[in-house]
Chains A and B, each alone.
Chain A
Amino acid sequence: MKIQITNGRVINPSSGLDEVQDVFIAAGKVVGIGQGPASFAPNRVIDARHKIVMPGLVDLSARLREPGFEYLATLESEMFAATVGGVTSLSCPPDTDPPLDEPGLVEMLKHRAKGRNQTNVYPIGALTQQLQGSRLTEMGELRDAGCVAFSQANVPVMDTQVLARALDYAATFGFTVWLQPQDGHLARGGVAHDGEVAARLGLPAIPTCAETIALSTILHLVRHTRARVHLCRLSSAAGLDLVRSAKAEGLPVTCDVSVNHLHLSEHDIGYFNPHCRLVPPLRSLRDRDALRAGLADGTVDALVSDHSPVDAEYKQVPFEAAETGATGLELLLPLALQWARQDGIPLAQALSRITADPARILGVPAGQIGPGSPADLCIFNPEQEWVVSPQTLKSQGKNTPFLNLPLLGKVSHTIVGGFLIYEDARA
């Protein structure tokens, strides 16, 4: 399949390219930008006039709900949602049922995901067996099965000795460990930020120090083990400060925030909106603004969807009982664009946070367009407005705090491995 994308504004964040150019694709690779190979005869020409051509999105956290939670979503539904969102590479956390703690489970997932030409799936293996925080998994075997890193999803390791040993063991092989910093004791029973809204609504609260204490522990252990750690889903200004100084010190750490925490605060809970029942909790406006500034200055490396489809039934219960998480694969791009527009962030820099930067954390050849790079691309119309609704969302999960809101930016084409796998003629 040979594709020529014409007249689009090509943005490649990692090289700084931002020009109207043609892109030439053959045999799964980008074979030329501006200038195609001699006698290039495309099977398909895509007119990208007034559109932006960019590397496909790389999403560091998307729950596909397989195995074990097929009643919430299936691999098919969520892989399709990824293509609709322009996401061509994603990593999925190990909190499936059973958790991704055995090579066989990972191989099965990889096999199921590979079925068609689809978004590349990079599983994150469980750091401990059953995510129970006591015994290490066979990380070497899991890596050979396809895991690119190891994590506890959002289940904390309560035992600091186990965490130290897990980091030591991972560092032996140079594996990156992904940790979501939240102290399990301080977070116990809590569902909202320990602030004004929890006080008003009578919701059990999680203090900011649940994050900073966990972060301090992790950062001390990084200093001790020299393990490479990626910190997932920061939620607070104080937590961000710790990461900023750790980076200044030269510790091998990176971090991300979710689109929800980038745009929302505790106040969005309103009168118990269950779509704002998230882990970690949405914090204050000051925290949100600090996360935005951190994403702009690079302290925060990547923006993630934290895609977690949940069936309506599990959200239509009192706030405390509501299943956590929000759907997000289809919102990652428009919400990154919204952040760029609102905060005056150069477009290429904003797009870097959802392409080249997360690809660097994953350590995979994705997130860029250049001669010879894999032909994983996304073409979108930056001016097209659409309304987030159960009808427009293709994910099986319709649960998002952004429901009924108009967003700008709609993907018109998604290309993975040189194949056009999604096309929306109206975008």
Chain B
Amino acid sequence: MNGNPQLSPEGKLKHLLTIEGLPPSILFHILDTAANFEHVAQQEIKKVPHLQGKSVFNLFFEASTRTRTTFEIAAKRLSADVINLNVNASSQSKGETLLDTVDNLSAMQADMFVVRHAESGAAHLIANHVAPGIHVINAGDGRHAHPTQALLDMYTIRHFKRRFENLKVAIVGDVLHSRVARSQIHALTTLRVPEVRVIGPKTLIPRDVEQLGVRVFHDMTQGLRDVDVVIMLRLQNERMNGALLPSRDEYFKYYGLTPAKLARAKPDAIVMHPGPMNRGVEIASEVADGVQSVILKQVTFGIAVRMAVMSILAGERVGNFS
């Protein structure tokens, strides 16, 4: 239970649970593989046979439309059979435990689980439990990790900036509750981005986050100075009014991305957001829809990156097949 269970003894990827602990070579392998899959969407028949005959279970214990849909599209383009389960609505309400649910689905010859759960560590728990040969992809566990989101973000950054070794990247907003931010931080530091900054009020920045290799800023105008990439995080509704933040208006005033604040970044800086956006809360519409925004490209790249992860886990021959 204590080891990093996503790598086989030979260092091959068995599960994708977190970016933490993965070597740069695996991250680059996923990004390169995704680049090959980008063509599939442009083909007349948007399918390749990599996962033919395999069953992929989208096991979502927490509501999600976008992530589940992109995983579903990715699996279908790889010719897998896809089964979507919204578990909140069925067995959990009947008192079945998480691992009971997984056992039952394993008995239906699942090959791969894509798991979203509201509690940190759920994907590790499942990965430690399933039979060898079944692969688990973490599609978001509590505040812990969302590795495919981070990988598609890295793909987007590489697409626009080409290399990682000379970048300054700022992650802005609710880092404390964000699995996306944690995975991005691990991915950026693993890929040798020399300066990763996190920006937010003290109530939304975890204590000791510097230990993960980031610089902390509470003043957004300072934090955005000369950065190449600005990643905005979603602020959940329930955090907006209470003891963490006084109001959405005040949040927007200090931490919302406006054209004026973006002007502090490099002129060619790109703006990213994992979605779904709260316009007027963490990002102004002029920026979200502006020329520096690459937010919709992230979504497109997300499919190719998830295809890459699934095909690598399934152990299929990966190459350029366009």
Contacts and interface: CB of A to CB of B under 8 A. Distances in A.
A316 B1 CA distance: 11
Interface stretch (A59-67, A192-200, A219-227, A358-366): A192-200
A299 B4 CA distance: 38
Interface in B1-39: 1-5, 20
A272 B212 contact: no
Given A195-B208, A205-B206, A318 B5 contact: no
Contacts of A194: 207-208
21 contacts: A195-B208, A196-B208, A196-B212, A200-B20, A201-B144, A203-B143, A270-B1, A270-B2, A270-B3, A271-B124, A272-B1, A316-B97, A316-B99, A316-B125, A317-B98, A318-B98, A318-B119, A318-B122, A318-B125, A320-B120, A321-B119
A320 B206 contact: no
Contacts of B212: 196, 199-200
Contacts, number: 83
A205 B205 CA distance: 12
A318 B122 CA distance: 5
A263 to B, nearest CB: 15
A207 B207 CA distance: 9
Interface string B111-133: 00000010111101100010000
B156 to A, nearest CB: 23
Interface string B128-157: 010000000000011111000000000000
B121 A272 contact: yes
A318 B141 contact: yes
B97 A317 contact: yes
B97 A313 contact: yes
B4 to A, nearest CB: 6
Nearest to B179: A202
Interface string B36-54: 0000000000000000000
Contacts of B99: 316
A273 B2 CA distance: 6
B209 interface: yes
Nearest to B6: A271
Contact of B1 (A195, A199, A201, A271): A271
A271 B121 contact: yes
Given A200-B20, A271-B1, A320 B121 contact: yes
Contacts of B97: 313, 316-317
A419 interface: no
Nearest to A191: B120
Nearest to B129: A316
A179 B121 CA distance: 32
Contacts of B211: 196, 199-200
Contacts of B2: 268, 270-271, 273
Contact of A201 (B4, B121, B125): B121
Contacts of A274: 1
A266 B63 CA distance: 31
A175 interface: no
Contacts of A203: 120, 143-144
Nearest to A208: B207
Nearest to B18: A271
A413 B24 CA distance: 56
A200 B211 CA distance: 9
A195 B207 contact: yes
Contacts of A313: 97
A316 B98 CA distance: 9
Contacts of B209: 199
B76 interface: no
B202 to A, nearest CB: 12
A402 interface: no
Interface string A392-404: 0000000000000
